[in-house]
Structure 1
Amino acid sequence: MVPMVQCENGHVYHPREGEKAFKIVTRLAEEDPRKNRL
């Protein structure tokens, strides 16, 4: 599990489900950066 992850957009978020959260958040950020404002 990763305690802190930084997206390409520069947003830092804390995934709660390890790689699954990372992939989901990254995918959402790629589809619509405005939806992922963490």
Structure 2
Amino acid sequence: MDKQYIIEKLIDKGMYKIGKRQLWELSVKELAFLLQKK
């Protein structure tokens, strides 16, 4: 999956950042995990 695509999906779910880290700072692996978790 494309990183930009995953970030857009997470933003659609209302997630803009994780703690103090912006979504774009995370790895694709971390983003994919968050997407599955939510």
Q: What's the TM-score once normalised by structure 2's chain length? A: 0.34
Q: Which has the higher contact order (CA 8 A, sep 6+)?
A: 2
TM-score under structure 1 normalisation?
A: 0.34
**Greater percentage in helix:** 2
Larger Rg belongs to:
1
